[in-house]
Structure 1
Amino acid sequence: MYETILVATDGSEPGSRAAEHAIDLASTFDADLHATYVVDTRRYGGSVVDDSGEVLSDLEDRGNEILSDIAARASVDVERELRQGRPHEEIGALAEEIDADLIVLGNRGLGSGGEIGSVAERVVRYVDRPVLTA
């Protein structure tokens, strides 16, 4: 059913749940698993990220740690990709590049309250792929 699964996470609890679902699905369907973390440069203000290589480096280090954790938990190989930009756009672009059959992500992220998060909503609305939120 699924040949290529993309999981996108920000390290939040829902993002971790999404990773677990993606790992299980990839294992069940013997699918390729790709994991991405997008450094949302707009969230922190372009000038903050641009003016300080240290801030960007710290954000990238966090993303790489999260992606490494997913790979360590998986029983399948995980292709990892760290990106910068608007998360829903980067998730959509990567899904297109790898021809993902399914995108898995948390229903809200680090900054969300009780309702669906803005990134999850935008991915569901604008990315032309099946999406599973956890």
Structure 2
Amino acid sequence: MYDTILVATDGSADANRAATHALEQAEQHDAELHAIFVVDTDRYAEPALSSTELETMEIEEWGNQELSEIADRGEELDIAVTTQCCHGKPYIEIINYADEIDADLVVLGYHGHSHAKGEQIGSVTDRVVQNAGRPVLVAT
């Protein structure tokens, strides 16, 4: 049913649950798994020789660590995970990457780090669900 699955992470608890679901689906369907982390340029400025450059670089490094953890979990299950760390507006980058790899399924957490816990879905997840044009699994 699924040949290519994309999971997006921001390192939050819900994103970690999304990674678990994505790994389960990839294993069950013998699918390719891709994982993406987006450095949110609305929250973190693009590096430009300033004090924010260090913060942006730290977020990117942290994102790569989160992606490595997903890849390591995949390796334990004999699932190769292709990782992508990029800068931009998260929902746009997630949708663009899903389009680029022609993902059959996108897996996201219900809330991310930037969203206060509650009953309302996170803004990135909401925008991806509304605009992806493909199946989206939302992990809670």
Same fold (TM over 0.5): yes
Deviation at 1:43, TM superposition (A): 1.7
In structure 2, list runs of 5 or more residues that go unmatched: none
Which of 128, 132, 138 is residue 133 of structure 1 equivalent to? 138
Say whether 1:19 aligns with 2:19: yes
- Residue 72 (structure 1) shift: 0.7
> What RMSD, in angstroms, separates the aligned Cα atoms of the two structures?
1.2
* 2:15 alignment partner AA: G
Percent identical residues: 49
> What displacement does 1:109 show?
0.4
1:42 corresponds to: 42
Normalised by the length of structure 1, the TM-score is 0.94
Match of 1:33 in 2: 33
With structure 2 as the length reference, what TM-score do the two structures score? 0.90
Q: Please tell me the residue identity of whatever aligns with 1:78.
A: V
TM-superposed deviation, 1:9: 0.7
Q: Structure 1: which 5+ residue stretches go unaligned? A: none
Aligned equivalents of 2:42, 2:60: Cα separation in 1: 14
Q: How does 1:114-125 map to 2 (within 5 A)?
A: 114=118, 115-125=120-130
CA distance in 2, matches of 1:56, 1:106: 23
Counterpart position of 1:82: 85
